[in-house]
Amino acid sequence: MTGPLVVRTREELRAATEGTIALVPTMGALHDGHVQLMKHARPLAQTLVVSIFVNPTQFAPGEDFDAYPRTFDADLERCAEAGVDIVFAPTVDVMYPDGLDATVSVDAGPLGQILEGAQRPTHFRGVLTVVAKLFGLVGPDVAVFGEKDYQQLTLIRLMARELCLGVEVVGCPTVREADGLAMSSRNRYLEADERQLAGAINAALRAGAASGREGGTAVLAAARAVLDEHGITPDYLELTDPDLAEPVPGREARLLVAARVGRPRLLDNIALNLGGN
Ligand code: PAF
């Protein structure tokens, strides 16, 4: 198994890429969920690039930027497993040549202020800004993101379309542990007893989805009952339509949750059909 080529600058990238390009942006600490994104992306273009960059601007002061797991050698092995051609691992100077307080950034708009954005007001500005920069540096035809961060995926899709970036944004289903816990780099922060409890987050979503036919109030009540039973108080538990607007009876909807279990905040979401007409 030959490993991917590691490049750190735009010039090295340009010299190494050829033909159509698929990009999987990551912050490293790669797990099976990331490997699925890479495998999904592999047939979509001639060159598959994975970026590994822990982006400082999407962390607020006091969040886990310094502690965020950095596992570069193991990450390269995961990339080799998935047939990645190039790993783009830029420095902060390459990504932010004018410094972290540069004057131009991407405003996520009103959908960036709800759900995660209400808890982390500067988060999506940081995410969209770095993704826009990665699109500019890598020049992908297609970029693949996980549905686990559903609001992030929705906002990146909107950004690509509304700013005419010419990148097709593809979402991939969440990869889960046996008890339903969504895979995440932050799951490694969970202590053994917290890990056991964490499965309740997805169980709550499944209970909510199973009540879909009874309407939105029943969905939220069923999900909250499972969280209550396990002593989990969510930061939010909300039902939206697939575009994060108000849910519409009789249509598809999304149930989204975030909750702290021990040290990490865990995010998950599920699609469901809402009853009513
Ligand atoms: O989902 C992530 O890992 C990050 O938010 C992303 C999209 C790589 C931007 O830093």
pTM over 0.75: yes
211 C-alpha to ligand 1 centroid (Å): 32
So where are the chain's domains? 5-172, 187-274
The pocket around ligand 1, CB under 6 angstroms, is made up of: 25-27, 55, 58, 127, 130-131, 149, 152
The amino acid occupying position 231 is G
Residues annotated as part of the active site: 34
27 C-alpha to ligand 1 centroid (Å): 6
Count the alpha carbons within 13 Å of 159 in the hemisphere toward its beta carbon.
26
By most ligand atoms within 8 Å of CB, the mutation choice from 23, 24, 26 for ligand 1 is: 26
Write out the CATH class of domain 5-172. alpha beta
Atom of ligand 1 nearest to the CA of 27: 3
Q: 71 and 77 in contact (C-beta within 8 Å)?
A: no
pLDDT tens track, the chain, 277 positions:
689 999 999 999 999 999 999 999 999 999 999 999 999 999 999 999 999 999 999 999 999 999 999 999 999 999 999 999 999 999 999 999 999 998 999 999 999 999 999 999 999 999 999 999 999 999 999 999 999 999 999 999 999 999 999 999 999 999 999 999 999 999 999 999 999 999 999 999 999 999 999 999 999 999 999 999 999 999 999 999 999 999 999 999 999 999 999 999 999 999 999 997 6
Domain 187-274 listed as CATH 3.40.50.300: no
**Domain 187-274 in the same topology as domain 5-172:** no
The amino acid occupying position 49 is V
Own/partner pairs, 176-182, CB within 8 angstroms, 24+ separation: 176/202, 179/203, 180/206, 181/266, 182/33, 182/148, 182/266, 182/267, 182/268
Burial 74-95 (b: 16+ CB within 10 A, else e): ebbebbeebebbbbbbbeeebb
